[in-house]
Every structure is written in structure tokens, then in C-alpha cells.
């Protein structure tokens, strides 16, 4: 697998508590937008996201963003 799977054509708007999260970069996770280990055996690695305060974020689900793990609107070009 050399190209990420488009999990959805819209961002996941979610409120995250302080902590570390792992964003799925491959698109195969059943727990989008977070990693569930489905990338094993591929060249993809999850992206760590450390939150220091409670915040609402838009996480990319199309996997085409230039600013992972955050949505940059790339899904509008699919």
C-alpha cells in the first residue's frame, strides 16, 4: 500500500482532552480518525498529537492533508 485510503471526505470535528492521540495516516483504521494498528505491514505510521489543553480540532479523514493530522481542506479537491 503506497497511497492512503480516503476514510471520509470531511474532517472529524472533535473535542480532545489533554493527552496524546495517534492519528491514522493510512486510512485503514476502523476507529477513524485515530489509529487502531491497521497500518501494520504497510509503509504508513500514525502521527502523534499531543494536546496540552481541552480543544476542539478538525482532524483530516481524507488523508490528503499537507498539515497532518489537521484538515487543510484537501477533501474539497477529491
Distance between CA atoms of residues 64 and 78, nearest Å: 9
The distance from CA 13 to its chain's CA centroid, rounded to whole angstroms, is 11
Cell numbers 484538515: residue: 71
**Selection from 34, 8, 12, 9 nearest residue 21 by Cα:** 34
pLDDT of residue 43: 95
**Within 10 A of 20 (CB to CB), how many other CB atoms are there?**
8
pLDDT given at position 1: 63
> Block means of pLDDT (10 residues each) for the chain, length 78 residues?
92 98 98 97 97 98 98 96
pTM: 0.93
Amino acid at each position: 500500500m503506497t497511497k492512503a485510503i480516503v476514510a471520509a471526505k470531511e474532517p472529524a470535528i472533535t473535542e480532545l482532552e489533554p493527552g496524546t492521540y495517534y492519528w491514522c495516516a493510512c486510512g485503514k483504521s476502523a476507529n477513524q480518525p485515530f489509529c487502531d494498528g491497521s497500518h501494520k505491514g504497510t509503509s504508513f505510521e500514525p502521527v502523534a498529537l499531543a494536546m496540552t489543553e481541552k480543544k476542539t480540532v478538525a482532524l483530516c479523514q481524507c488523508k490528503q492533508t499537507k498539515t497532518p493530522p489537521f484538515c487543510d481542506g484537501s477533501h474539497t479537491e477529491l
